[in-house]
A and B are shown apart, each in its own frame.
Chain A
Amino acid sequence: LSSLVVLETGPPAPYSVLTAASKVGGPITVLLAGSKASAAAVEVAKVDGVSKVLTASSAEYDHSLPEKLAPLIAENVKGGSYTHVFASASAFGKNVLPRAAALLDVQQISDITAVESEDTFVRPIYAGNVIATVKSKDPIKLITVRTSAFPNPATSGNSAPIEDAVDPAVNSQTAFVSEELTKTERPDLGSAKRVISGGRGLKDKESFDKIIYPLADALGAAVGASRAAVDSGFADNSLQVGQTGKVVAPDLYVAVGISGAIQHLAGMKDSKTIVAINKDADAPIFEIADVGLVADLFDAVPELTGKIKN
């Protein structure tokens, strides 16, 4: 047994993928690519359980174009003796790993939430309404990991060796043009310990900003939104929590003016403590909330924010 873990150079670096790989057993080699690979390698070499770090430092790998990265992964897998290849089920892993799987003639296993054994894994299907346990017959397993389902490993005193990866230097006609990333000082939604999410009950963008953000500030929380709120233009798409957005599992999730559609619940139902504030006492969100408050959010949330600040 031997795992290759392909990590984005971040931030944030999804180290919990390493925890998933450690459940399989055997040494763990990390592959990093792009001009930030060397700096990222120094950090990941400190993480417990990492045996070796491979870097492909060419700037050709910046922006993680799968046309270049998938052949890089495939070449390093062919040249090594890996039985497992892991990546996060983030925009990065979803885009790149299936292409590498096709090059290696492997049927990938997507978005796992648990490792049962070296060839058997657990993954949600039907938007989390069904949990499947699947066994792979492929000689090499390619796997993407739901990062919120695994804890981060310790980053204590390890110092794994760093070496150059095999670099096939494949050309591509695909060009990166630009990116428009939402800039924020807040914790990252995917890994925050606390999340405050707003839904259609906020009525408009102005109210969303005025009601949700002060509570998030008071609790040091990330801000999320339901798909209804995103579609209505109250919040940016990158804040969407749900089956079609981000899947989060913070210690505290506060749903404000969110009714609790199945597709939203799929994105947050694994949170430790769920709070719902909604004026509709029959909203389905109350069926899963640990603490529910039936109230007009325009009164209740500012009061809550004020009392938490004190």
Chain B
Amino acid sequence: MPPRLNIVVPVKRVIDFAIKPRINASKNAIETNGVKFSLNPFCEIAVEEAVRLRESSKDLVESITLVSAGSAKAQDTLRSGLALGADKATLIEIPAIDDSKSLELEPLAVAKLLKAFVKKSNANLVIMGKQAIDDDSNQTGQMLAGLLNWSQATNASKVTVDEASGVVTVSREVDGGTETLSAPLPLVITTDLRLNTPRYTKLQDIMKAKKKKTEKVSPEDLGVDISSRLEILSLSEPPKRTGGGKVDSVDALIGKLKELGAI
């Protein structure tokens, strides 16, 4: 019998997707004071997928562990993931650099922290979001798979596990359509939008999540250097595009397009 799934789901706390980010006065960071934060949508899909794997077959999943690297505030993010159905959670706490904020971790540093955590927890499957909607890097899962020398399946739109063999089959979204891969455990999967629609958490799930086990570790505990390799020199708003007004008929539309040299 192949081993049961010991799943780690890394999650990130990000500015809520419905909020337009504002650049701070010194033009080098995004304003976070008084801004609503949420669990990154792709991470939420990853937690949901782990829970669905457990629900698909009684003996398939041994444990679902959440992990987040960030400030103490990421505890709230971990609670949202626990309410979705994960078993326990670890915060890799990044100390504050001043009163209000922690160092913004880069994907390579996060991947190194996750590698150490995954080894420590004897996980054999990592399911995580394809990207965080703040930095949009789309790197951490691939880096983690490289550091662990595990198989990787990114942009997953369908995941199936063959219980007899322990082989995982993943359909992934590529530019021209879909591609299907298979790999034995251990494996890193990153999630795309169409993989699933996360469930709504009920009040009783949120209450239950408060009783689940959470622990804290530090980057030093994991023996990882998290210093930055990149420096943000400046942030700016993209050039504003202003509309050219409306026309009142198809003929006027064609006329305008000819005038603009578009047809």
Q: Which residue numbers of A lie inside 8 Å of B, CB to CB? A: 63, 65-67, 70, 90-92, 94-103, 105-111, 120, 124-138, 172-182, 190, 219, 236-238, 244, 246, 251-252, 262, 269, 272-275, 277, 281, 286-295, 300, 303-304, 307-308
**Partner among B143, B176, B254, B262 whose Cβ is within 8 Å of the Cβ of A102:** B143
Given contacts A66-B146, A91-B174, A291-B244, 17 further A-B contacts (CB under 8 A): A67-B145, A94-B154, A101-B143, A107-B109, A108-B107, A110-B137, A128-B238, A129-B20, A131-B235, A135-B231, A180-B179, A252-B263, A262-B20, A277-B253, A291-B257, A292-B244, A300-B250
- Which residues on B sit within 8 Å (CB–CB) of A97? 142
**Contact with B260, one of A244, A286, A291 (Cβ below 8 angstroms):** A291
- Asked whether A130 and B152 contact (CB < 8 A) given A179-B177, A291-B256, the answer is no
Alpha-carbon distance A129/B184, docked complex (angstroms): 40
Q: Please list the 3 inter-chain residue pairs (A to B) with the smallest Cβ-Cβ separation, ordered nearest first.
A: A107-B229, A102-B146, A98-B142
Of the residues A101, A172, A177, A294, contact of B139 by C-beta under 8 Å: A101
Closest to A107 in B: B229
Query: Closest Cβ of chain B: how far from A220's Cβ, in Å?
Result: 10
- From residue 206 to 263 of chain B, which have CB atoms closer than 8 A to chain A? 228-238, 241-254, 256-257, 260, 262-263
* Chain B, Cβ-Cβ closest to A8: B175
Query: Is B159 an interface residue when CB atoms closer than 8 A count as contact?
Result: no
Contact: B180 with A130, CB < 8 Å?
Answer: no
The smallest C-beta distance from A240 to any residue of chain B, in angstroms, reads 9
Which residues of B are interface residues toward A (Cβ below 8 A)?
Answer: 15, 20-21, 23, 30, 106-109, 111, 133-147, 151-155, 157, 169, 173-184, 193-194, 228-238, 241-254, 256-257, 260, 262-263
Q: Which residue of B lies closest to A178 (CB)?
A: B180
Q: Are A66 and B243 in contact (CB under 8 A)?
A: no
Query: B15 — which chain A residues lie within 8 A by C-beta?
Result: 126
**CB pairs A–B below 8 angstroms (27 shown):** A63-B179, A90-B175, A97-B142, A99-B143, A102-B142, A103-B146, A107-B108, A107-B109, A125-B136, A130-B238, A131-B237, A133-B236, A134-B230, A134-B233, A135-B233, A178-B180, A180-B177, A181-B178, A237-B173, A238-B175, A269-B241, A277-B253, A288-B242, A290-B244, A291-B244, A292-B243, A293-B252
A residues within 8 A CB of B21? 126, 129-130
Q: How many Å lie between the Cα of A142 and that of B212 in the bound state?
A: 41
Docked pose: A290 CA to B235 CA in angstroms? 27
Query: In the complex, A178→B248 CA distance in Å?
Result: 49
Q: How far is the CA of A95 from the CA of B135 in the complex (A)?
A: 17
Find chain B residues with CB under 8 A from A181 CB: 176-178
Please name all residues of chain A whose beta carbon is closer than 8 Å to the beta carbon of B263 when the two chains form the complex. 219, 252, 308
Whether A292 pairs with B229 at a CB distance below 8 angstroms is no
What is the bound-complex CA distance between A176 and B183, given in angstroms? 9
Q: Are A308's CB and B230's CB within 8 A?
A: no
Write the nearest CB–CB distance from A136 to chain B, whole angstroms.
6
Instruction: Give the shortest distance, in Å, between A45 (CB) and chain B (any CB).
Output: 25
Chain B residue with the shortest CB-CB distance to A184: B176
Q: Which of B153, B176, B183, B249 has the most CB of A within 10 A?
A: B176
Task: Determine whether the beta carbon of A102 is less than 8 Å from that of B147.
Answer: yes
Shortest Cβ gap from B54 to chain A (Å): 24
The DSSP consensus for interface residues of chain B is mixed
Whether A286 pairs with B232 at a CB distance below 8 angstroms is no
Contact, CB under 8 Å: A98 / B250: no
Whether B134 and A125, one on each chain, are in contact in the complex, defined by CB atoms closer than 8 angstroms, is: yes
CA distance A189 to B194 in the complex (A): 20
- Is there contact, CB below 8 Å, between B246 and A70? no
Q: Note all chain A residues with C-beta closer than 8 A to B108.
A: 101-102, 105-108
- CA separation between A72 and B173, bound complex, in Å? 24
Whether A98 contacts B174 by the Cβ 8 Å rule is: no
Query: Are B194 and A237 closer than 8 Å at their CB atoms?
Result: yes
Say whether A130 contacts B237, CB under 8 Å. yes
CA distance A219 to B107 in the complex (A): 43
- How far in angstroms is the closest Cβ of chain A from B3? 15
Which residues from chain A contact B173 at a C-beta distance below 8 Å? Answer: 91, 237
Whether the Cβ atoms of B245 and A292 lie closer than 8 Å is yes
Q: How far is the CB of B196 from chain A (nearest CB, A)?
A: 13
CB of A273 within 8 A of CB of B257, answer yes
Query: Which residue on A lies nearest to B111, using beta carbons?
Result: A102
In the bound complex, CA of A103 to CA of B111 (Å): 12
Complex: chain B residue closest to A273, CB-CB? B262
Selected contact of B138 from candidates A92, A94, A137, CB within 8 Å: A94
| Contacting residues, chain A, for B233 (C-beta < 8 A) | 120, 133-135
Q: Which of B152, B177, B243 contacts A67 (CB 8 A)?
A: B152
What is the minimal beta-carbon distance from B211 to any residue of chain A, in angstroms? Answer: 35
Min distance, Cβ A74 to any Cβ of chain B, angstroms: 9
Are A131 and B236 closer than 8 Å at their CB atoms? yes
* Chain B residue, CB-CB nearest to A292: B246
Rounded to whole Å, the gap between the CB of B106 and the closest CB of chain A is 5
Residues of B within 8 A of A287 (CB): 242-243
- Of A111, A292, A294, which is in contact with the most chain B CB atoms at under 10 Å from its CB? A292
A103 CB contacts on chain B under 8 angstroms? 146
Partner of B246 from the list A110, A252, A293 (CB cut-off 8 Å) is A293
CA gap between A269 and B240 in the complex, in Å: 10
